[in-house]
Structure 1
Amino acid sequence: MTIATTTARLRMGTGLIALALCSMSAPALAQDADQADTIEAASENEIIVTAQRRSQSIQDVPIAITAVTAETLKDQNVQSVEDYFALTPNVSFQTNGSRDRKDLSIRGISNQLNPYADVRQSSYAFYIDEFNVAAGTSNPQIVDLERIEVLRGPQGTYFGRNAVGGAINVITKKPVQNWEGELEAAYSNYDTFRAQGVLNIPVIPDLLAVRASAQYEKSDGYIRNINPIGGGNDSKFYTARVQARLTPTDRLTWDFAYSYSNEEVGMRNGVPTGAVTGTWASVYYGVNYNATGRTTTITGAPDGVGFFPQNDDEVNFNRPQSVGSTYQYFSSRAVWDFDVATLTGVVGHLTSDVFNFGDVDGGSPDFFYEDFFLKRKSTSGELRLQSNGKNFLDWSVGAFLGRDTGTTDQSTFHGRNSPLCPAARAGNCEGLEVTGFDSDSTTRYFAIFGDATLHFTPELTLVLGGRYSWEKTRNIAENRSNLTLTGINDRVADFEDFSPKATLSYKPNNSLMVYATASRGFKSGGTQTSNNVNLSNDFDPETLWNYEVGTKFDLFDNRVRVDIAGFYMDWKNVQQTIRFQFIDPGTGLLRGVSGIANAASAESYGIEGSFDAKITDNWKLGGQIGYNNTKFKSYPNALIDGIVIDISGRPLVNAPKWTFGAQTQYTQPLREGLDAFVRAEWNYRSSMLSTPLAYRYNGFPFISPSYHNVNLRAGIEGEKWRATVFVENLFDAKYFANAYEKAFYSGVQVEPSFQSYGIILSYKF
């Protein structure tokens, strides 16, 4: 690719974004976008979604999609990503010790990458009001939402880069031309208190309205540090969003939004398991078996607290921890209606900080402590023009431009009892850097996309679309061990791709649709952040072809809605994290290997279905089922914790075979304007590999067990107020989503389940 070609592409993209920004200030033709932002019920059980950037009934969209409406968000007390994922088949998640450190999996496709990379490629798109926030969060605030759409399968045409697994589309409630608001307070065990509020103000009639929402939550946490320093996983989380909507004409709608979130936890949520892996067996216990290829762990010291599952609420850390993140973004979205077509411009800027400070060895001896700070920034914009109405040919074209940056400043230090103190220091190493890593990365990206919808007959429709993408990544990094420079790099790589999509749908009547789809997904490659003899300097993009057939239909006068899909995905050059440390036999220094390798190939196939039923006017029932088989077709040379293993035929991480869920709610009118209700929820996830370490240590805790979880809610609701009592994890099931490792003296950690019960009070005005 020539410099001139690259420059031309960037200029074209810059011009399109500039056009979007300029046109936002022009008193031009536009539309009132309320229809696209709110859920309207054309029939009693219909849901309107914007998964294809148009307002459509969910039963008319030839995509496997779960839409969680505002009513369901309220009924199920959805507070975070795992809550609405429980309503979606073939979706799972992992956690890395705090609220906003989640790794999501859709149909077995997940990030197999380092969650703390400067600029992290994602396997799914995450949009809030059409602005991409994946660089800053995977678990945004849930307050004052209209709905959440979870789209399964590659969504490159509409949602852009890195949507190989699917997309999450969050739609907030927008300002309206009347005074309204809501207050809510909740209290639950572990002295957990949450307060949130919404206020809508019509500032200038028919021209400007403002809507603000905020939430504050604090908790003592469910894990206690028995060490004299005290503390635990106590937490504080607060978030706020302010939106303004300008409607200067009935054809122009211009939205502005600012959102801020802050989370701080007293420690990463986790308890020890006793399973000590290769590096830390050598460091803490003098058992050096990496050279032998040993595939079992040793058992670490109980350290006064013991191991999960007998211990699910205690740790013994000799130094305090502070773990958390903040992110904020500005975004603007303008929509113009030209009768025959609609022009949409979206632009935004996001910043995110992630930090870990304090104890890192996870035990009472003062071995090591850490300072880690990661800052990310992302600026992106999109301009899209699409036809209106329903013609023989409907179409959409657009362009997308963005830039992500990230810097890391990480140091691990010797404590008073460091087992790696160099002899020259005579055992006095406290405060000396053991390992250090500084990096600065930048990714620029540009895309053009489009689709054409051909309505051959009122029943038969063909959609053809595609997306051309270009990305360029640069990384500058420095690695250190005991103040000795062990690696430095300055690397650049660029990639381009064209991903097509074709969907044929047939709808013989208003109650039935069948469809077939073939689509390609693309996740860009990049450069390594350290010098490793085991890895190439660059890693390749991964690509995926998805083949899917499905049907959606209604029964019993639209009282029952059913969605069934079957799929096969063929995955090439799967990007896999390679991350471990070892004692260099030549120098005695602790060295690290950190990077990304390309597995040869993988595949994922399965079936999924969901239904919603209104059994009677007072009784609702819903359910989901997903079967998913995701495995490496060929990966003979996987580098896992220091040894090479053939993991061909093995499942991928974070890819459970089975996911089930069911929800039922019964409402009993007490008198006019006053109802009582009871709701029960159940979900199941089968066992899964929770970390790549499972390929070497094939057992607990690297394979997460299957689990059942049951929630129960009951309450009374009037026209303006609502009171709910709840028990989540009703039967106090003991399970964990995944294991994670850093430098744990008593073994890798798991984030244990716990039971929560409390009361929620809300009032609308």
Structure 2
Amino acid sequence: MKSSYKLCSFKRGLLASSMLAAGLTVPAGAAEAEKDTSFTLEEILVTAQKRTESLQDVPISISALGAEELEAMRVMGVDDYITSIPNATYITAGAYWGQNVTLRGISDFSGGRYEVISVMVDDMGFGAINSNSILSAQFWDIDRIEVLRGPQGTLSGRNSMGGAINIITAKPSTENYEMKATLDYGRFDTFLGKLTVNVPVSDTVAVRATAYTEQADGAIKNIGPAGGSSSKDNYGGRAAVRWTPNDRLTLDASIAYEQQDRGSEPFILRSFFDEDFQEAQVTALESWGGVYLDDVDFYADVGNNGGKVKRDVYEYTKITDWIASFEAAYEFDNHTIQLLYGHFSYEIDYQEDYDQTEYSWWKTTRNREVKTDTAEFRISSDYEGAFNWVAGASYLKETQDNDQIDWIGIWATQGGTPRYAGEGGYTPAYRGLSNDNMKSIGFFANAFWDISSSLHLSAGARYSIETTQFGSKFNFDTANLNPDFVSPITDADLRPEAKIKKFSPRIALNYDLTENATVYAQFSTGYRAGYGNDAQSVSVGAPEKVLPEKLINYELGYKAQLLDNRVNVAAAVFLMDYTSLQVEELLDPALNPFPFNIYYDINAGKAQSKGFELEAEALVTRELVLDASIGYTKATIKEVTLDSVDYTDVGMPNVRPWTVSLSATYTKPIKDDIEGIIKLDYQYQDSLQWRGVLPDPRFYVDAYNTVDLSIGLQTDSWTVTAYFENVLNEKYHSAVGWETVGFRGPLLYTEPRMFGIRLTYKMGGQ
């Protein structure tokens, strides 16, 4: 069933791609008849190479989403836009466990303490240790988002092997007063209110402020004893100021605060009732000290039940985050000096019914705190000649503290069978603390040389010096009812610092075929930081240090503006060699003194990822715009050794081989200044294996297709839009989790059909 479904889904994707490709071919007669210079696509400017350039001139495979496009997509978080990017995959295991982005097959798929996709806000990197924190933050006033595929080690530094996501916020303007208000109401009693105001205080000072509130009942209801739902009650705000005391100096500062108060994760359960799995679950529970006096009821009659679940624990996620930034830019006649600083703090409190049943088996509580300070000093040239450059130094300090407690039903320590609805309560059985620190200093330079009128060189390198330090401690004690049975981490618990020095070169050549078409070749590199295993793992056989991962990318690309700038096309093929994989290893049970599995990380084997991506945008008529993207990735672990067993040619997890995104937007004048808008979006996401190096049917996620539709009316001042997401109500999974007790099977999230209406009013501005 899986293979036939996948084939059918992919054929539908190819059919839609072919239809759109046909639409991109504007008849020759039409092209000749309408040579109106105003009838063109707008130029897209990006800062991927730390200077402002046209997207068409940058020798990097990059997707850029502007403010209007983000508004049309109703983007609030990474999950709202990332699947529209070719060769990008998004999987979530919940707010605490991770929101995982894969670019070109590179992700944090098994082992590895640090990230492989760099996430930046206004060119400042956050989330080197764990990008789930910065990806959990929502953004409400965005100028554009740039997604760079392939290693970005030269300009983005550490932990950008797979690529980089740069979120650029809207800046205050002294030109015009602007006010924009949005009200949105949708299914599941979902409400969003958002207000943005830009105020020119004087000729040199402007202030911009945004606030939002969002509430929803959620699609998943807990009909078990604890009640609750996948609800949300979020709010936040951002204030920014710009001061230009003279024509040369620009000062920008901003601060944002957000509070997210969410209910349970929107998970359902996939049946998994084979006898081997049940036996493994019983063994796991008994290892915690339980003695079963009676047969265990596997509750087989309760499994999958759509949007309803039965849990005896009230689940919640509470997130608080702050983001602050400062930038000073001074323009000389031929040079610009920039000083940038960013601060990010994040705290999450989380509680989950870990067994996902109405019986008191296992619950877990988690707390994570992240603090990041990052700064960069940058100098760039602006010569009239053929040669220019950018150079600078960057600094990052990031810490992450985790505190986790696992609780089991008291019945498990006394002997007996699971009790309903938390009868008898829970006892703390496990507590673990960890502290992770990273400090990074980087020195970078990149040169831009127009060798001739047609041949252009971009080349540079970064020298990075990083230190990482990690410490953890845990205790297993089912008899101690005091959850504070682990003392805080001290310096004595931290592993010795792991220090690395890395040189990350990059070189790219552009050759202009015509004034509006170029081909490029790029060689780029990236790495993921190394670290030390925790002391308790080392004491039972783990290696003291894990070496950095390394990645080399070879890329050929083509970019063009065709048919009088009515069609934009970008294509690339790539081959990436990946060495020193950081993978998770299971400690030999014979050496394990603890009643649960112990894992640690090792360096093992090498991998390769290759494929292509194609993006196109076409202004077919004055009313019709078509967008298309398609990506293909074949990512393979060539060699890996796990548990003393050698494996070859294993498919890399967390990779969707094919991704397709198609969009058509039709705008038609109706009366006076009123226009009608119809937008149709289609996406195909291939199947994937989520976690671990070796295939596991519990973590298999099917391919899916979705169709979204929006219909609206707009004037210069207001827009009203009715939207329908997942119009065909296809049952597909955008998340996956796991179970180790409870006999309910893996956790998944099925996106329901969503519909609503959005009203936007704006005044002022340009």
C-alpha distance 303-258 of structure 1, shift in aligned 2 (>3 A) = farther
Q: Which residue of 2 aligns with 1:313?
A: 307
- The alignment status of 1:59 with 2:52, answered yes or no, reads no
Taking the TM superposition and a 5 Å limit, the aligned residue runs for 1:573-592 are: 573-578=580-585, 590-592=595-597
- The alignment status of 1:368 with 2:362, answered yes or no, reads yes
- The alignment status of 1:132 with 2:125, answered yes or no, reads yes
Structure 1 contact 395–451 (Cα < 8 Å) conserved:
yes
Structure 1 contact 97–751 (Cα < 8 Å) conserved:
no
Structure 1 contact 303–364 (Cα < 8 Å) conserved:
no
Task: Return the match for 1:458 from 453, 461, 464.
Answer: 453
Q: Which residue of 2 aligns with 1:103?
A: 100
Deviations 1:225-264 (A, max 9, x none): 1113211211122222111111111111111011122222
Structure 2 contact 547–580 (Cα < 8 Å) conserved:
yes
C-alpha distance 300-404 of structure 1, shift in aligned 2 (>3 A) = farther
Q: Which residue of 1 aligns with 2:749?
A: 751
Please state how far the C-alpha of 1:728 moved relative to its aligned partner: 0.3
Structure 2 contact 681–708 (Cα < 8 Å) conserved:
yes
Q: Which residue of 2 aligns with 1:566?
A: 573
C-alpha distance 42-381 of structure 1, shift in aligned 2 (>3 A) = farther
Please state how far the C-alpha of 1:646 moved relative to its aligned partner: 4.5
Deviations 1:408-462 (A, max 9, x none): 1111122233379799xxx999543211111222211111010112211121111
C-alpha distance 506-47 of structure 1, shift in aligned 2 (>3 A) = same
Structure 1 contact 240–261 (Cα < 8 Å) conserved:
yes
**Which segment is superposed worse, 663-672 or 270-279?**
270-279
Task: Return the match for 1:436 from 431, 450, 461.
Answer: 431
Please state how far the C-alpha of 1:519 moved relative to its aligned partner: 0.8
Q: Which residue of 1 aligns with 2:709?
A: 712
Task: Return the match for 2:543 from 525, 536, 539.
Answer: 536
**Could you list the runs of 4 or more consecutive aligned residues of structure 1 that deviate by over 6 angstroms after TM superposition?**
276-280, 287-290, 419-423, 484-488, 582-587
% identical equivalent positions:
29
SS in 2 for 1:747: coil
Aligned mates of 1:407, 1:359 — CA distance in 2: 22
Structure 1 contact 435–590 (Cα < 8 Å) conserved:
no
C-alpha distance 228-429 of structure 1, shift in aligned 2 (>3 A) = closer
Structure 1 contact 274–302 (Cα < 8 Å) conserved:
no
- The alignment status of 1:471 with 2:466, answered yes or no, reads yes
Aligned mates of 1:346, 1:279 — CA distance in 2: 56
Task: Return the match for 1:516 from 488, 513, 521.
Answer: 521
Deviations 1:689-728 (A, max 9, x none): 1122x7253x2x4111110010010000011000000110
- The alignment status of 1:527 with 2:521, answered yes or no, reads no
SS in 2 for 1:176: coil
Aligned mates of 1:517, 1:436 — CA distance in 2: 48
**Which segment is superposed worse, 335-344 or 739-748?**
739-748
Structure 1 contact 739–749 (Cα < 8 Å) conserved:
yes
Structure 1 contact 529–594 (Cα < 8 Å) conserved:
no
Letter in 1 for 2:237: A
C-alpha distance 618-690 of structure 1, shift in aligned 2 (>3 A) = same
Please state how far the C-alpha of 1:276 moved relative to its aligned partner: 7.2
- The alignment status of 1:400 with 2:405, answered yes or no, reads no
Aligned mates of 1:711, 1:420 — CA distance in 2: 53
**Which segment is superposed worse, 737-746 or 469-478?**
737-746
Structure 2 contact 360–423 (Cα < 8 Å) conserved:
no
Deviations 1:127-164 (A, max 9, x none): 11122233531144232211111110111222222111
Aligned mates of 2:645, 2:396 — CA distance in 1: 38
Aligned mates of 1:538, 1:282 — CA distance in 2: 36
- The alignment status of 1:209 with 2:197, answered yes or no, reads no
Please state how far the C-alpha of 1:645 moved relative to its aligned partner: 5.7
Structure 1 contact 681–710 (Cα < 8 Å) conserved:
yes
- In structure 2, stretches of 5+ residues that fail to align are 1-37, 288-295
C-alpha distance 335-585 of structure 1, shift in aligned 2 (>3 A) = closer
Structure 1 contact 242–258 (Cα < 8 Å) conserved:
yes
C-alpha distance 491-728 of structure 1, shift in aligned 2 (>3 A) = same
Structure 2 contact 519–557 (Cα < 8 Å) conserved:
yes
Please state how far the C-alpha of 1:170 moved relative to its aligned partner: 1.1
Task: Return the match for 1:334 from 317, 328, 333.
Answer: 328
Task: Return the match for 1:84 from 77, 81, 86.
Answer: 81
Deviations 1:499-554 (A, max 9, x none): 10010111143210100000110111112235234632221100100000000012
C-alpha distance 282-406 of structure 1, shift in aligned 2 (>3 A) = farther
Please state how far the C-alpha of 1:407 moved relative to its aligned partner: 1.3
Structure 1 contact 460–505 (Cα < 8 Å) conserved:
yes
Task: Return the match for 1:187 from 182, 185, 188.
Answer: 185
- The alignment status of 1:243 with 2:240, answered yes or no, reads yes
SS in 1 for 2:621: coil
- In structure 1, stretches of 5+ residues that fail to align are 1-40, 291-298
Structure 1 contact 365–417 (Cα < 8 Å) conserved:
no
C-alpha distance 522-286 of structure 1, shift in aligned 2 (>3 A) = closer
Structure 1 contact 552–564 (Cα < 8 Å) conserved:
yes
Please state how far the C-alpha of 1:369 moved relative to its aligned partner: 2.0
Structure 1 contact 545–570 (Cα < 8 Å) conserved:
yes
Taking the TM superposition and a 5 Å limit, the aligned residue runs for 1:349-364 are: 349-364=343-358
| Relative contact order higher in (CA < 8 Å, ≥ 6 apart) | 2
- The alignment status of 1:123 with 2:116, answered yes or no, reads yes
Please state how far the C-alpha of 1:65 moved relative to its aligned partner: 0.6
Aligned mates of 1:300, 1:528 — CA distance in 2: 40
Q: Over the residues paired in the alignment, what is the CA RMSD in angstroms?
A: 2.9
Please state how far the C-alpha of 1:730 moved relative to its aligned partner: 0.6
SS in 2 for 1:110: coil
**Which segment is superposed worse, 590-599 or 651-660?**
590-599
Aligned mates of 1:742, 1:251 — CA distance in 2: 59
SS in 1 for 2:68: helix
Aligned mates of 1:233, 1:130 — CA distance in 2: 33
TM-score, normalised to structure 1, is 0.86
Letter in 2 for 1:553: A
SS in 2 for 1:86: helix
Aligned mates of 2:542, 2:170 — CA distance in 1: 47
Please state how far the C-alpha of 1:485 moved relative to its aligned partner: 7.8
SS in 1 for 2:173: coil
Aligned mates of 1:102, 1:731 — CA distance in 2: 26
Task: Return the match for 2:632 from 627, 632, 638.
Answer: 627
Structure 1 contact 421–429 (Cα < 8 Å) conserved:
no
Please state how far the C-alpha of 1:100 moved relative to its aligned partner: 9.5
Q: Which residue of 1 aligns with 2:145?
A: 148
Q: Which residue of 1 aligns with 2:45?
A: 48
SS in 2 for 1:327: strand
**Which segment is superposed worse, 570-579 or 276-285?**
276-285
Please state how far the C-alpha of 1:630 moved relative to its aligned partner: 0.5
Please state how far the C-alpha of 1:66 moved relative to its aligned partner: 0.6
C-alpha distance 44-371 of structure 1, shift in aligned 2 (>3 A) = closer
Deviations 1:461-520 (A, max 9, x none): 112100111111122221111168899943121111101001011114321010000011
Please state how far the C-alpha of 1:126 moved relative to its aligned partner: 1.1
Task: Return the match for 1:225 from 222, 227, 238.
Answer: 222
Aligned mates of 1:366, 1:382 — CA distance in 2: 51
- The alignment status of 1:159 with 2:152, answered yes or no, reads no
Q: Which residue of 2 aligns with 1:16?
A: none
Q: Which residue of 2 aligns with 1:501?
A: 506
Q: Which residue of 2 aligns with 1:722?
A: 719
Please state how far the C-alpha of 1:184 moved relative to its aligned partner: 0.4
C-alpha distance 322-264 of structure 1, shift in aligned 2 (>3 A) = same
Letter in 1 for 2:160: A
C-alpha distance 558-277 of structure 1, shift in aligned 2 (>3 A) = farther
Taking the TM superposition and a 5 Å limit, the aligned residue runs for 1:684-695 are: 684-692=684-692, 695=694
C-alpha distance 261-592 of structure 1, shift in aligned 2 (>3 A) = farther
Q: Which residue of 2 aligns with 1:490?
A: 494
SS in 2 for 1:71: helix
Aligned mates of 2:416, 2:351 — CA distance in 1: 24
